[in-house]
Structure 1
Amino acid sequence: MKSNVLAWLEEGNITIPSLLFSEYRNLTLNETELVLLLNILTFLEKGKYFPTPEELSGRMTISTAECNDILRRLLQRGFLEIIDQYSNDGIRFEKYSIKPLWERLIEQFLVSQRNQVQETTKKTEEMDLYTCFEKEFGRPLSPFECESLAMWMDDDHHDPVIIKAALREAVMSGKLNFRYIDRILFEWKKNGIKTVEQAKNHGQKFRQKQLQKSNPKEQTYNPSVPFYNWLEN
């Protein structure tokens, strides 16, 4: 028994980033591919740089043919590469390298970090948006109003900054209701307006156009089209 334990200890250990286990699915790796890569890493740690499919499959529950197919896919998808090495005697030999795996893992980690920051920022902006609406309305929003806000962001993809601008426009126009705000957002989206600056420019151009039509001989302004009284902050 002592010899068995000793043999087990002599097998050694490998260091595996815990990030690999949390992110391998996002890297589009399945469990079989992951274990195969880990087995290659184990062989590399022991100084066997180019294990055969027979040696690799012998440690797993896949056949040699399946192992060949998976190795080919990992090479094609950029998780594994074969590089040329030279011994101290100048003899050339091939070696597996899982450096591409670590590079992909780092890229995935950075993407996850950016997404997390963006998600946190988005949630903060959304909470601030609800607070702004409740402050202007002077009361908590109804479930229907909360649903409208969510639809403007999730379905219509309006930026919270634009929704705030539409809220301010409704306040300035003395028409503080969700139907009027929805109409403003609809008109802005139809005209490709996505920033506050674009909204201001659109309002200025709209007002200039209406001033040109103010001549009594010309057709009067159609009240069915909302007039946006955009004021500077």
Structure 2
Amino acid sequence: DSYSFDFLYQKLDSLIDEEKKELLNVSAEKDRQKIFNAFQVEFGRDLSPIELETINDWIEEDKYKTDLILLALREAVLSQAYSLKYIDRILLSWEKQGIRSKVDVENLKKAREKKKENINTISNNNRNKENKPKIPLTKWLD
């Protein structure tokens, strides 16, 4: 007499896999709601169905991470551009530059600020070195 537990193990494996999928779906849905709520708060209104679809496409088709979408929203709000097209352009630009995480975005900002500082110091040095006409100063009250 022998007993085989193969079917039991298969059933347990399938149940565990289903549970993992459910947890992932719940987590993904929470992230999606977090994004939608952030957009509604920043825009100060409810999102239209087309806007919801656009954001859904970013998540489902383009596979942008939640953090990246929220950072793009923040960049747009700081630029006072409340447009999904603007945010889409930010995300596309970051994708072309190979930016995939929050750390990459922060590094890009630091590099941009450093470049601005270098340009400002160079332009300030050029202004100081310009040949300015000499203006004679005479003391009229002496």
- TM-score bucket of the superposed structures, by smaller chain: 0.7 to 0.9
> How much does 1:128 deviate?
1.9
Give the aligned partner of residue 175 of structure 1.
81
The partner residue of 2:92 within 158, 167, 186 is 186
> How much does 1:114 deviate?
1.3
The partner residue of 2:57 within 145, 151, 158 is 151
Query: Looking at both structures, which has the greater relative contact order when contacts are Cα pairs under 8 Å and sequence separation is at least 6?
Result: 2
> How much does 1:213 deviate?
4.0
Larger strand fraction of residues: 1
Distance, in Å, in 2 between the alignment partners of 1:210 and 1:102 is 65
Q: Normalised by the size of structure 2, how large is the TM-score?
A: 0.75
1:98 aligns with 2:10: no
Give the aligned partner of residue 129 of structure 1.
35
Q: Structure 2 unaligned segments of length 5 or more: list them.
A: 124-142
Aligned-pair identity in percent equals 26
Larger Cα-atom Rg: 1
1:25-63, Cα deviation, whole Å (9 max, x unpaired): xxxxxxxxxxxxxxxxxxxxxx4x5xxxxxxxxxxxxxx
Give the aligned partner of residue 7 of structure 1.
none
1:172-209, Cα deviation, whole Å (9 max, x unpaired): 12222111111111122222322222211122123223
Cα RMSD (Å): 2.1
The partner residue of 1:203 within 106, 109, 113 is 109
Distance, in Å, in 1 between the alignment partners of 2:86 and 2:15 is 43
Q: How many residues align?
A: 123
> How much does 1:103 deviate?
2.5
Distance, in Å, in 2 between the alignment partners of 1:153 and 1:107 is 29
Give the aligned partner of residue 14 of structure 2.
108
> How much does 1:98 deviate?
2.9
1:141 aligns with 2:141: no
Q: Structure 1 unaligned segments of length 5 or more: list them.
A: 1-46, 50-96, 217-233
Residues 104 and 139 (structure 1 numbering): CA distance in 2 closer, same or farther, change over 3 Å?
same
> How much does 1:108 deviate?
2.3
